[in-house]
Amino acid sequence: MPATPPPLVSIITIFLDAKEFFAQAIESVLAQTYTHWELLLVDDGSTDGSSEIARAHAAARPDQVRYVQHTGHGSRGMSASRNAGVRQARGTLVAFLDADDIWLPDKLEVQVAILEAHPTAAMVAGQTRLWYSWTGSGDDAAKDAMRRVTEAADVLCLPPELLRRYLTDRALTPATCGVLIRREAVERVGGFEERFTGLYEDQAFFLKTYLTLPIYLTSTCADWYRQHPHSHSAEALRTGRYSTHQPSAALVGLFLWLTRHFVAHRVADPVLWRGLARKLARLAVHRVMVGVNRPIKAALAWWYRLKSPPPREEHRGHR
């Protein structure tokens, strides 16, 4: 009787003007010890030469690498680009690697084995290294840290436990480069929310998985999430669209969307609703206080940090 072939992993790499680090991300896929994969390079309208890099890799390895773009070489945002990759995927498992991050060589081998050992798990999420030291600077090396979903590790979390923890500030969403998910699970939750074109697009997706999917949390770390000044989140910090110490309009939008999602899916769990209500109340207080004097604003910002300390570089983005 012939052996069962290994599952095909579809790796989705979205990119927009990502020339600086793109080749290194692709090389980290080519170096994987698990070899039954396909790589979909999804172009969101690049103009800096990264489209040519993607096409060259697709031409060199047509059996494993494909180039995908939006109609008319348009730019539709991060969620739409990830969904475009999922629609083109042929694998039973899906992984995400953004164009400035890298995987260690055993990333897929480790996470495929976990999903095979835990057939009820829809997704596996690992720890991710927040990678400042890529610059070679000693000062940046001291900033490197581990991003963990929660303190629990090597455990299967049944829904909606992780969402309860998230809403009570006891869990984060994973980095997109740190997960491996069954494709049917991506389709079951409706893919990425295309109204989120940049900030919080990953969180909206993962909150949907937290609500309905069993997720295995592993203590292994096989992906490095590059921190650099040209990232989408760094640019959002500079322009004020995102803040690490007070709620932004984008964050308000995330929780208003989650409220509508709860209503649409008839969520009845009182713990989830209480956690969401606390989040909304905290945001409402800040919005009411927008016009007050500076000392009160400073005190309120301190209170927000105390109650809801955000992780460094929590949000993903195009690079």
Mean pLDDT across 50-65 = 98
CATH number of 9-234: 3.90.550.10
* Per-domain boundaries in the chain: 9-234
Percentage of the chain lying above the pLDDT 90 cut: 77
Is the pLDDT reported for residue 111 higher than 90? yes
The predicted pLDDT at position 239 comes to 57
- C-alpha torsion 288→289→292→294, nearest 10: -160
pLDDT digits (tens, 9 = 90+) for 79-94: 999 999 999 999 999 9
Mean pLDDT across 55-64 = 98
Instruction: State if pTM tops 0.85.
Output: yes
The predicted pLDDT at position 283 comes to 85
Is the pLDDT reported for residue 317 higher than 50? no
The predicted pLDDT at position 170 comes to 96
pLDDT digits (tens, 9 = 90+) for 37-46: 999 999 999 9
Average pLDDT taken over every residue of the chain? 90
Is the pLDDT reported for residue 287 higher than 80? no
Say which residue, 310 or 257, is predicted with more confidence: 257
Mean pLDDT across 314-318 = 41
Is the pLDDT reported for residue 243 higher than 90? no
- Using only C-alpha atoms, the chain has a radius of gyration, in whole angstroms, of 20
